[in-house]
Amino acid sequence: MTSQGARGRRFEGELTPEAVDLNASVDFDKRLLPEDVAGSIAHARMLGRQGIISAEDAERIASGLEEVKRRFERGELSWDPALEDVHMNVEARLTESIGDAGSRLHTGRSRNDQISTDLRLYSRNSAEKLSALIGDLRRALLDRAERYVDAFMPGYTHLQRAQPIRVGHHFLAYDAMLRRDQGRLADAARRAGECPLGAGALAATTYPIDREGVAADLGFEGVTRNSLDAAGDRDFAVELVAAIALCQTHLSRLGEEIVLWVSQEFSFATLGEGYCSGSSIMPQKVNPDVAELIRGKTGRVTGHWVSLMTVLKGLPLAYNKDLQETQEPLFDAVDTLKTSLLVARGMVESLEMNTERLRRAVGEGYLVATELADYLVTKGRPFRRAHDAAGALVRRAQAEGLELEELSLEALRAEDSAFGEDIYEWLDVANAVDRRDVVGGPARARILAEIERSRRELNGS
């Protein structure tokens, strides 16, 4: 293999150094070594089965590829940017190792269908690994939900205290988001499940290849149905990064709430010191930097999705070198979410909720006002009339510096004669929460049932 890489004898001269730097992708696509070798082994063995090359050459290629992979992984072989990419580096080292048989490997394929195959394998593998990490974070959230099932906190709308909930219900909201994120990753992996090997550069091949056999060997569900599309699209990468960006957004929301909770203004929780930093000049500071970084990474990952869309938007069929620019955004998005999930799990496991402070917060701000209205509805009042009465009582309590449960029965009846002594049971926070005993609600029994359901799902039972 000459230092001209894939250019061959069509060219007399070499690329300029600047062009080599721009053209080479091996610095980032070398991470595809496992997928590239797996695809090449499957291709070589298929060539042998089909009689396109000898069975002996096929096995020499397969064993040679395994050895090349091991030597690269051990650092015994160096990556050559003049050979452009992972594919040409592997093929060059293979030919150096086993001789002429190595030069038969590329029969019946192109780097175009080869890289598409590698990236699909990488995307599928990455989706599976990320989903497993999401599962670990979900388990941490479920553990916290169970631990704090008997603690109460304000639920918010518009960042204003709204109604009381159990702390466990809040953690379960993130479990629900992450469950959907796992589903999106699975969908992206499924649509990356068609093998493009055999599409060639754009117009397939004249050799009697067995595409279905190669697809099965590599764990694909089937093969692509159009060679132009197979070689020239990266929508599977766009979809995976879109799913990653949405998951990162959910982690950002969790990070934002942790930042709020551990602030002195809220004081709802403390975060393990392993996830905090100090100040260079203020010795008292304990800053939730890691949660902030998870929040900040969202712009990076969303930007990768935009980059992928922009690369694809004006490309004619089939392959264009622009597609090389889809790899780094894909790789970095995967890496960023992986790190964020690991850190988020640790943060959740280290969170200690200040249950007394939370309970005091629940008792401030008239969070049980809706109970007044609901009580009157049970007495036959129309909801709008009941809502107005409750609003008037909030205004009176506020004017008198009281909470709603501190209003006398006489004051309540002055607004509506339907109020009875049992209203004070309705205004108890635990009772108010547990009356919301519907699927998806914050009642204690519903939370425990949801924790159990999610655990069974995660355990595959």
Q: Which residues are catalytic?
A: 158, 279
Buried/exposed 144-183: b ≥16 CB within 10 Å, e otherwise: bbbebbebbbbbeeeeebebbbbbbbbbbbbbebbeebbe
Give dist(CA 373, CA 25) in Å, integer. 65
- The answer for residues whose C-beta is within 8 angstroms of residue 144's C-beta and 6 or more apart is 168, 171, 348, 349, 351, 353
Residue type, 265: E
Asked whether 356 and 150 are in contact (CB, 8 A), the reply is: no
Between strands 269-270 and 352-353, the pairing is antiparallel
Give dist(CA 381, CA 428) in Å, integer. 21
378: exposed, middle or buried (C-beta count within 10 Å: 0-12, 13-18, 19+)? exposed
Give dist(CA 250, CA 227) in Å, integer. 37
Assign residue 108 a region (left: φ > 0; alpha: ψ between -120 and 50; beta: otherwise): left
Q: CA 392: distance to chain centroid? A: 46
Which helix (H) or strand (E) covers residue 152, if one does? strand 152-157
Q: CA 288: distance to chain centroid? A: 22
Residue type, 439: V
Nearest to 126 by CA among 41, 192, 28, 39: 192
Asked whether 144 and 171 are in contact (CB, 8 A), the reply is: yes
Nearest to 39 by CA among 111, 131, 96, 129: 111
Asked whether 342 and 134 are in contact (CB, 8 A), the reply is: no
Half-sphere exposure of 282 (CA within 13 A, CB side): 7
Give dist(CA 280, CA 169) in Å, integer. 38
**62 cis-preceded (ω within 30 degrees of 0):** no
